[in-house]
Each structure stands twice: as structure tokens, then as C-alpha cells.
Amino acid sequence: MPVELKVPSVGESITQVEVGDWLKSVGDSVSRDDIVVMLETDKVTVELPAPVSGTISKILVQKGSSANVGDVVGYMEEGAVAQKAAPAAAASAAGSPATLPPASAQRVMPAAQRALHAAGLEASDVAASGPGGRMLKEDVQRHVEGRAQKPAAPAARPAAPPAVSPAAPLAVRSSGDRQEEVVPMTSLRRRIAERLVEAQQTAALLTTFNEVDMTGVKELREEYQDAFVKKYSIKLGFMSFFVKAAVDALKQFPSVNAEVRGNDIVYRNYFDIGVAVGGGKGLVVPVLRNAERMGFAEVELAIAALAGRAKDNSLKLEELQGGTFTITNGGIYGSMMSTPLLNPPQTGILGMHNIVKRAVVIRPMMYLALSYDHRLIDGREAVQFLVRIKELIEDPERLLLEG
């Protein structure tokens, strides 16, 4: 009897997904909980596992198409998973006992499954090194790197055509041998575009600027970096200083941590700081919950973990929701100055920029930008908030003592 592959519920406010890569094709054998297809929302990528062991019998919704929560995107036939006998036969031919586990017994972690698909590999091609025989993403990466270092074979085996053709870009050729490619926006990029327009249409946006002398922070990092790394196994970065400084300033200016809800103002006594990071499919803003309770090491470790999951497209929906204030660092990309846009319904966002030695007395200086919703925050408050950030960053010992 056919088993339905249904789009699961992926969040209270999400009713539609976009079908991403099918990691299995029609006719492929899969074990229960193997990842079959990736589903993309406007916030995260969700993995749809096989509900039973069996064979993929039909794919209904192709890559790039939309589906609603609860829709059936494909079917499986339940039954015993076909096992590859080649390894056992080879072992027997070599005079060794055929004791290798069947291919289906190998546990492939989700990130490794995506890496296999991207590299055009089967799980049986890669040696697993994880606990309990689990295949990790690093195993696939090592295999690909090792393969790249080997001399090319005289004749490459032609790759089998995929059972599901991805949504290919439409190439339009015009005179003069000039081309255009038309590709659909990803759901994440569409959502980013919608929210940026929403921020400009619904808030009275204004930006104020200041500059901060980073000498104290740089010297403090240099002094304590080795001890910090030795104790916490992570570097002391700039972001933890700005998170701690932002929390202090938000306590003094609660309207920057508030939101406009209809005709009401909602003030919060907690501080969930969003930190913008580059993900595999675009910029995302995971949230540090209760940042006021976190120390420097906790901030650095949390940001590193969130950034790693963002690159793997494995952030959970709840890690991206909420947030009372956002910090974005365009300086890592070389930005000297920008006007960051709000992340609705927040009323403030702090923009960091690159550090440049400027001839005041030759100091490492950084421009700061605070964009804010003028409906709730007065210009005086915005300036004083940014001045408070400046004071704390230029006197980082106070942050260490008070944080």
C-alpha cells in the first residue's frame, strides 16, 4: 500500500513551503528516517524523513514548486530495503569473511546526506567515522577532497541522469550573443525582500551615526585572547563586547527594546538579541535568548554555533523567531558605513562597520549606525543610546566588571 510523503507542520505562521532538492529518486531504497527531500520555508530549510523503510515510488512535486502544509509531495512503497551485495561479494572473493554491515545499516546524518547529494555520491562510496558508524558531513568532505587530489581516470563513468529534473534556469539569448538567465527567487530571498519593504512602509525609519575608538577593546582582546581560547576553546571576538554593551544601553533606554503593537507600546524586561549572520542561502538573524544572562564566552559560543548551523541550513525555526533588538556587522565584508534596516516589529538595529586607522591620533576607529523607528524613539534617545554604546566600548573593562 502506498505511503504518503506529506509536508509536515513547520511553524505556527508558515502554511506553504518550497520543495528543494530531492535526495532520493524514484526506485531508490530508503530506510526509515532517511532524509528524502528538503523543504524550504522563508526562514529555514526543513528535512522530510522517510516515515517507513521501502522504495520511492512516485514524486508528485518537483524541485522549485510550492506546496502547502499537509500536501502529499510523493509516495513510497513500504517493504524491505534492498541491500547491496557488492561489498560482501568482494570480501568473499578476497578470502575474507563477509562480515560487513549492509548499506542500509549505515546511519547517514542529515548534513552528510546533503553533502552526498551535492557531490553526486552514494553513501556506500564514503567511509564513516562518526560514533556508532554514523556518516558525518566531514567524512564526505574528506572523501571529495581526496578524490580531487587523485589524478583523473582515463575515462570517467557517465553519471546517471537524475530521476527528477531540477527547476533549470531559463536562458534567453539575444543578438550579439548576450544572455539572460531567469531563475525563481528562493522562498528565503522572497521573504527577505518582503520584510525589507515592510520595514520601510510601516515604520518611520531614521538613522543616527557615531564613531567609536576600538583601541581599548583591541588591547583587551590581545591581552586575554590566549587565556580565553585556552579556557573556552573559542576566540574572544568583537561581537560579544557589542552584545553586552547593547544590553546595558537597552536597559537605560527601554523604548529601543520595545515594539509598537497597534495603538500600544510593548516594553520588554528581557533582551533577545538577534545577530545577523551569513547563511547558506542568504542573511539570517538567529537570536540569543536572554542575552542579559550570558557572559562573554557564552555569547561567543552561541554565535559560533548559530553561524555554523546557518551555513549548513540547519537552523531551527524557533532560533530565528522573536528578537527584541538586532546587531549586524557589515564590517566583516568591508563596509565603511551603511544604514541598516529594521527587522520588524523591532524598533532598533545597530550596525557595526570596519575598523580603520584614522588620523586623529592614529586610532582604530569604527563607525556605528543606529536605525530606529521614529514613531517610538525620539532622536535624543537614539543619540544617547548610541553614545552609551560608544562609552562602554571605549571602556571595555567596565563591561567585564559589570557583565
Confidence (pTM): 0.63
Residue 101, helix vs strand vs coil: coil
3-state secondary structure 309-349: HHHCCCCCHHHCCCCCEEEEEHHHHCCCCCCCCCCCCCCEE
Choose between 290 and 45: higher pLDDT: 290
Task: Give the pLDDT band (50/70/90) at residue 80.
Answer: low
Structural Rg of the chain based on CA atoms: 26
Please answer whether residues 187 and 41 qualify as being in contact, where contact means their C-beta atoms are separated by less than 8 angstroms: yes
With a pLDDT cut of 70, the percent of the chain lying above it is 81
Q: Is 374 a catalytic residue?
A: yes
Q: Give the distance, in angstroms, between the CA of residue 259 and the centroid of all CA atoms in the same chain.
A: 25
DSSP letter string, 138-173: HHHHHHHHHHHHSPPPSSPPPPPPPSS-----EEEE
Task: Look at 49-63, 150-164, 318-332, 384-398 and tell me which has the smallest mean pLDDT.
Answer: 150-164
The yes-or-no verdict on residue 94 having pLDDT over 80 is no
pLDDT tens sequence across 219-277: 999 999 999 999 999 999 999 999 999 999 999 999 999 999 989 999 999 999 999 98
Return mean pLDDT, the chain. Answer: 81
267 vs 9, residue with greater confidence: 267
pLDDT in tens, 112-126: 777 777 677 777 788
- Going by pLDDT thresholds of 50, 70 and 90, the confidence category of residue 73 is very high
Which tens digit of pLDDT belongs to each residue from 187-212? 767 777 777 788 788 888 899 999 99
CA dihedral 37, 112, 50, 285 (to 10 degrees): -60
Give residue 148's pLDDT band: very low, low, confident or very high (50, 70, 90). Answer: low
Contact 50, 75 (CB under 8 A): no
**Signed CA dihedral, 136, 141, 147, 150: sign only:** negative
Q: Which of 125, 226, 378, 395 is catalytic?
A: 378
Contact 340, 349 (CB under 8 A): yes
Domain architecture of the chain: domains with CATH:
1-82 (2.40.50.100), 100-150 (4.10.320.10), 205-402 (3.30.559.10)
**Catalytic residue flag (residue 28):** no
